[in-house]
Each structure stands twice: as C-alpha cells, then as structure tokens.
Amino acid sequence: MRSFVLASAAVVATSTSPHHVPNKVLMFKEFKETYSRHYATEFEEGMRFRIFSENVDKIYTSNAQNKSYTLGVTANADRTFNEWKADHLHGFKPTLSAEKKNHARFTAPKDFAEPDSIDWTTKGGVTEVKNQGTCGSCWTFSATGALEGAMFVAGRPLQDLGNQHILACDKGSSGCKGGSMDQAFDWVSKNGMPSLKTEPYLCVDGTSAECTGMTCKTEAASDLVLAVGDVVKHTDVDTTENALEAAVAQQPVSVAIEADQDVFQHYTSGVLTNDACGSTLDHGVLAVGYGTDGGKQYWKVKNSWGTTFGENGYIRIEKGSASDGGECGIRKMASFPTVKAASADVIV
C-alpha cells in the first residue's frame, strides 16, 4: 500500500518505544505529499492538521499496547471518524429473517475435517481488490466476489464480474444506499450478469453525475458472463464456526461484519481482535480463507476499499474466540451462491 517510510516507521516504533514523541509537523508534511492533499485555506489546513494530530495520537496509543494488529497513517488520517464513516459505511442492509426462511441452510458435513488453513487468493479463485468509493455498494462487491469464486470452483474461467449491473438494475435494493448479498444472488439468478469489462463501475464518486444518473443496461445474451439460470441457488451458512470453516473450505463466502469502529479507519496489518469491533452488521465483505498467525487464528477477508486499505485490500479478523456470531459478527449472515458447472464433465 502507499505509505511514507518516516511516518510508518515512527508509528510502528511506538510498539517498543511508547514514550517516543512523533514529529507531527513533519509527518503531516509527508502525508500531504504522499496523498496529494491541497487545502483551500489556511484555516482548513489548520483544522486538518489538528484532526491528523489526534489520529496520530490514537495510532501511537494503540500500537504501544503491542496488539495483534497494527494501525498506521493512511489516506484517512486527516479525516474525523464521522467523516470517514459517512463515506464507507452505509451500504449493507441485513436480510430479514422472514425473507430467509426458505433459503437452503449449510452446516458442516459430519465427516468434515477442516484444513489447517485455506486461501482462495493463492488458489486463483479471487479477482483483484476493488474500490467502492463513496457509494454504499459493498453488498454488490461482496456478492460479485462470491459469484466469481463460485464460477471458479465450477470450472469456469475466473473473471471480473460487473457489479455495476446489479447496482443499476436490481430494484429490490437501494443502489448506493444499500442492499444485501442474498438479494443480489436472487437477482443475478433471474437476470444474468455481464463482465466488469463490458460494464465498468461508475460510482467511485457516489455523488457524480454518471453515478446518480446511472441507468440499467439491458445486456444481449452474448454479453452475459453468467446467463439467466446459471446461478442455481444460494445457501445461508449456519452461524457455527465449523459451518463457516466448511463453507470457506469449498469456496469464497459472502459475509457481513460490523466495521463502524475507528480501528477500521487506520488498520494496516495483523489480526483484528473481537474487542475492536462489535456485531451490529453494517458492511458486506468476502471471506476468502482462514489460518493461524503467531498462534492466533484468523479469517482472511477481502474488502472493497481499494488496495491502500489494510493488507493490500484485505483484513484478517480473529477467529475462534467469540461464541455468539463470531468476531465482528462475521458468522451471523454468511451465504454463498452455487453456479452451474462449465460442462457436464465438471462436478460442482
């Protein structure tokens, strides 16, 4: 990810030197250069420096506690938590229990023996990290990622799907104001889906004319990567840890988490612990694996905030310590689609 050496080194240094005092003026100068910040007035620059300074204090204080995760100076360091939250967390709307009653339910098979680790990014089943920008479209990126993974395990070529098509056409959702992965799976099964190349994402700036004025494009059958009926079904995952392990072992899985905590604004690496978040779901992401680091179990999660977030666009969330719904609520509303095999020779 983009970073500047002096600031990053200084922040990490607090893990061993809690009394180190950072040169915030120099850090802010380098921050502005790194992220091309240009403020309209001296007053605004002074205000942003004050916010930056307060965020650096939070980062230093957290890192000095030698936690299993690290915070750092990112592109969000000159923004208040409320400003950051307003842009990033207004996209996931949980599916109501009544709407889920007829969904298939996945539990771990009786003979399931979970692998020690799994990572679909190294298996070739995950496309590159995307950036939703200021549109509340996380649910479309989560659903698209799960559909891409389902295509891969069905023996189809891995390719980027056009979540813009869901965003503009799925009238059962609220577009940039939110939706659910279940809703997206149902919509794609009935309508199909083009590639990202055919229909690029328009809403990095959720207030732009091209985003607010987006229209649903009716795709010709030849332009659809997933044809009508290619998505056979989608399945809800039981809330037990064993069930989500078994589901992720077979394919990438759409999950929801609570991300409206300031640790997400500054997270750069490591395993985020349950005490840093809650379980009130507000953000759709993609579970692409799990493993162990330094004795701490984790879920590997693909986010949709660009590659400058976290570990090149990913975050690792603690696994195995929370009994009710999982860490950050990750087990509360997991689901995955099933896609038809590429040919009769491939068994799904």
What does 206-271 look like in DSSP terms, one character per residue?
Answer: TTSHHHHT-------GGGEEE-TT-EEEEEEEPSSHHHHHHHHHHS-EEEEE---SHHHHHEEEEE
Does the active-site annotation cover 176?
Answer: no
Does the active-site annotation cover 163?
Answer: no
> For residue 209, what are the CA distances in angstroms to 203, 213, 287?
9, 6, 33
Q: How many contiguous H segments (helices) and E segments (strands) does the chain have?
A: 12, 12
Strand 283-293, strand 296-302: pairing? antiparallel
Per annotation, catalytic residue among 90, 165, 303, 328: 303
Per annotation, catalytic residue among 138, 176, 203, 277: 138
> For residue 32, what are the CA distances in angstroms to 4, 27, 43, 132, 231?
10, 9, 16, 23, 46
Per annotation, catalytic residue among 191, 274, 283, 328: 283
Structure tokens at 153: 């395990």
Does the active-site annotation cover 138?
Answer: yes
Question: Which residues are designated catalytic?
Answer: 138, 283, 303
